[in-house]
Amino acid sequence: MPKVVFLNEKREIEVPEGANLRQEARKAGIELYRGIHRYLNCRGHGLCGSCKVLVKSGMENLSPKGWLESFKLATMLSSIGHEDEMRLACQVTVHGDCAIETRPAFNLSGEPFWVRPYPNK
């Protein structure tokens, strides 16, 4: 069975192949939501974006992004600087080992945010 490591919580859980990341985290008592989003979220339909996580390793062992998840992440300010590693836990199925950071912080001071898209001429 795949192992999922939750880095902030310092916990490792085993999940069935193809399990939904949000559901398994909630079963294990891992909090995915910040603040009021614990109560106000879309319950795993991929609409609110509040279950965002960073995949620190094992992205290749997760299901690929679907169009809904890709669209939602593209419209979220918090994905700036985390484009390659941010996923919505409710849209992810686990097929192998991975390491997850829950409740990621904004990366407004991170280098990718301030990089200009075009070089100076």
- Chain residues binding ligand FES by CB under 6 A are 41-42, 44, 46-51, 88, 90
CB of 4 closer than 8 Å to CB of 97: yes
- CA separation for the pair 35, 100 (Å, rounded): 19
Nearest approach, Cβ of residue 22 and ligand FES (Å): 6
Nearest approach, Cβ of residue 89 and ligand FES (Å): 6
Of 76 and 80, which CB lies nearer to ligand FES in the complex structure? 76
Nearest approach, Cβ of residue 85 and ligand FES (Å): 16
In the chain, count H helices and then E strands: 3, 7
